Amino acid sequence: MKEKVILAYSGGLDTTAIIPWLKENYDYEVVCCCIDVGQGNELDGLEERAKLSGAAKLYIEHITDEFVDEYVLPCVKAGAVYENKYLLGTSMARPVIAKKLVEIARKEGATAICHGATGKGNDQVRFELGIKALAPDIKIIAPWRCNETWKMQSREDEIAYCKAHGIDLPFDASHSYSRDRNLWHISHEGLELEDPANAPNYDHLLVLGVSPEKAPEEGEIISLTFKEGAPVALDGKEMKASEIIAELNKIGGRNGIGIVDIVENRVVGMKSRGVYETPGGTILMEAHTQLEELILDRDTLAYKKGIGDKFADVVYEGKWFTPLREALQAFVESTQRYVTGEVKMKLYKGNIIKQGTTSPYSLYNESIASFTTGELYDHHDAEGFINLFGLSLKVRAMMMEANKEK
């Protein structure tokens, strides 16, 4: 019997061309595996395409709820945002995909896992770190790094290669954006985005929504309900978190929410420019932030900001299956015990505008905070506090003054 390889399969031109390449160069039996994390109609016709390309079998694993509950929500609770803008849509999905690839490899008795990520990107790092952490004995094949056998450098090359192997597929050589999609977001790279001097062609680029200029003239008010840091209801209707995100994508998309144009620092050392659409995720993250600012005490909120930044770095770098991620997540979970309440927002032409936040665990006390101060706060107490709080500044100033006189 031939050895088996598990191919992370999307059905696109790259992974389609990889099937005959694996058979030709390794004499493997190719088992394709497509992990459904909410990429929608991209899954249509995959089984026929995989078999036509020479695959022995195709797995389609529907794991959107697992993706959201075990990978997305921890990032939401952490407030994990990479370089102040990127909500980690692609990064969060890679570890669960790697996990499923390993599970299928074990089930099939495969000796290798193959992915189609390029040698310039982050995904090769994320896939391979995940596989190494979960199955250190399994061989990893990355065709784009196999310079001696992978000769294809363009879509034209790949189409010609497929045709030479009797595979006639509905792909053409026309250029398009390089995209990655799941329930949380869709990313866009390539074409005019390769030059940071160019403005994005939003009319041609956007998939999940419209630009703020084309959003409705009237704002749309929504409410999100959270329990222990996780969303549980939208506009009072209880739903699964995945259903809430799907609905928020529609609402946010039509209001021009969550479009980010960023030049980011990749793990492999280069800068890259991309546009991310994350309409539902942007709303969800903002609502969670608004609720936390009402509930968490000052020291916890400040310290958690640093934890969130580190969590984002860990996820971005593909280090999900590490003790550090587990420890960071444990801290975050401990902060979410009382992050329960309702957040109302108006969505208007790309903006998210507060409409009121309520929680039974709010630390905001109107009696203390209002100008009409109640009995809990005495203005005179501030004088002694300021004297002590500023004592080191006063002592230093006295020392500097004394030394001027010498």
Q: Active-site residue numbers?
A: 14, 94, 123, 178
Q: Which residues contact 202 (CB under 8 A, 6 or more apart)?
A: 211, 259
Which amino acid makes up residue 126? Answer: R
Q: Which of 291, 299, 284, 300 is nearest to 340 (CA)?
A: 291
CA distance linking residue 36 with residue 203, whole number of Å: 28
CA distance linking residue 286 with residue 349, whole number of Å: 16
CA distance linking residue 39 with residue 184, whole number of Å: 9
Dihedral class, residue 190 (left if φ above 0, else alpha if ψ from -120 to 50, else beta): left
CA distance linking residue 180 with residue 244, whole number of Å: 21
Residue 33 pairs in a beta bridge with 8, 59
Residue 57 pairs in a beta bridge with 31
- Going by the DSSP 8-state scheme, the letter that residue 71 receives in this structure is I
Map residue 164 onto helix, strand or coil. Answer: helix
